[in-house]
Amino acid sequence: MKTDRGKHSARPAPSRELAELRARLAEAEETLRAIRGGEVDAVVVAGKQGPRVFTLEGAEHAYRVLIECMNEGALILAADGVMLYANQSFARMVKRPLEQVLGSSFHRVLSVTNQAVLRPLLKRTVKSGSKIQALLHAGDGSQMPAHISIRPLAKNGAKSATFGIVVTDMTEARRNEEMLRALTHRVVQAQEAERRLVALELHDHITQRLCAVLARWAALANKLPAHEKASRGEVMKLSEMLGQTVDEVQRIARNLRPTVLDELGLVPALRATCTEFADRTGVSLKLACKPLSARLPAEVELTLYRILQKALENVEKHARARHVMVQLTKQRDILQLTIKDDGIGFDPDQPPASRKKKRNFGLLRMRERATYVGGTLKVKSVRRAGTEIEVRIPLPPPARAKRSRSKAR
């Protein structure tokens, strides 16, 4: 190549070439970065037969098809919640055209409470990501329960963080859950009705008959001549055994359906259960509860009574506790029952199946029962430090209470 190196040339040719090469290198590096970052769909290369187009579809076609065809909503969010990308499924979920969805804020389809949960998650860039349950507000005013999985995406040279979001429609799952809950509620109600019937039978028939036998037996014993000492001793022993049987049958009937609960209300029933527990097991039990100003709905009373029964059963079976504290408090419209022991404790997060081979339903059923009456149940337990069961039940306004009772206890 001939070069003109005349004296009027301002820059020497090699440095111009170097600058050109540097610029081309920078351009090539930028192109490579864009290809790696997925910002390039095709590359145009100038050739002898004119420009040739190499699409990069092959590399990402499968991903695109997958994302576009999947049932879940897929989104890419900027840190401020703006939807940079959304698939058709998400547009269908929120019942808005895709063009309206793109560029708008994801927060707009969430309730204020859900927004408050999401915002900090879009600030954190924890690699493991996060999951939340939310209600999506669709364009037609309807709402859809959804499971939202959030994961920060690799920056790939982008200036600010972006997040990959997968939205799963939980309508069907929620409906099934509700049906299952309603069904188990019906089972519990049927079980309670059956228990009440068996308790009545035991009380009205078996106990009555046993008491009649006991009375006749005592009369017979009195008729025995005084010198028949051995026979009198045997008869007294038998009537004692009969008396114990009556007590046992009454205890079973009381456990099946405590008449004290129906007749006297929650506080006397809790007190009777606690006294019976302490007397029978020898574990010291302190009960702190003030009389309530009014009777509660029957189902709430029965729920709290059954939860206490089951919790004390667990203390007896598993805790090896020396002290138990039972507390019933009412703060505004929330009734709270706490059962706390100082026993060996356990790990409530560990799945029950791995704790033991058999399935444990006690705690699960206690929680379910609290849920039926709109309440919650928390289990706090630390190994070697004891266990605390906390039940909180919101009370309905007095006018809406299902059962009106004249006497307040």
Ligand X SMILES: Nc1ncnc2c1ncn2[C@@H]1O[C@H](COP(=O)(O)OP(=O)(O)O)[C@@H](O)[C@H]1O
Partner whose footprint covers residue 64, from ligand X, Mg ion, none (CB < 5 to 8 Å by kind): none
94, 269, 315, 393: which one binds ligand X (CB under 6 A): 315
Partner whose footprint covers residue 319, from Mg ion, ligand X, none (CB < 5 to 8 Å by kind): ligand X
- Residues 264-303, mask of contacts with ligand X (x by CB under 6 A): ----------------------------------------
162, 303, 314, 387: which one binds Mg ion (CB under 5 A): 314
Tell the smallest beta-carbon distance from residue 196 to Mg ion (Å).
22
The region of 100-108, 131-139, 278-286, 354-362 touching Mg ion under the rule CB under 5 A is 354-362
- Under the criterion CB under 5 A, does residue 250 sit at the interface with Mg ion? no
362, 365, 371, 390: which one binds Mg ion (CB under 5 A): 362
- Under the criterion CB under 6 A, does residue 317 sit at the interface with ligand X? yes
Number of residues that bind ligand X (CB under 6 A): 18
Q: Which long-range contacts (CB under 8 A, 24 or more apart) does 20-26 make?
A: none
The region of 73-81, 198-206, 212-220, 308-316 touching Mg ion under the rule CB under 5 A is 308-316
User: Between residue 33 and residue 72, which ones bind ligand X under the rule CB under 6 A?
Assistant: none
- Under the criterion CB under 5 A, does residue 352 sit at the interface with Mg ion? no
User: Between residue 340 and residue 369, which ones bind ligand X under the rule CB under 6 A?
Assistant: 341, 343-346, 352, 355-356, 360-363
Nearest CB to ligand X, comparing residues 134 and 319: 319
137, 147, 318, 409: which one binds ligand X (CB under 6 A): 318
Binding stretches for Mg ion (CB under 5 A) = 314, 362
Binding stretches for ligand X (CB under 6 A) = 314-315, 317-319, 341, 343-346, 352, 355-356, 360-363, 387
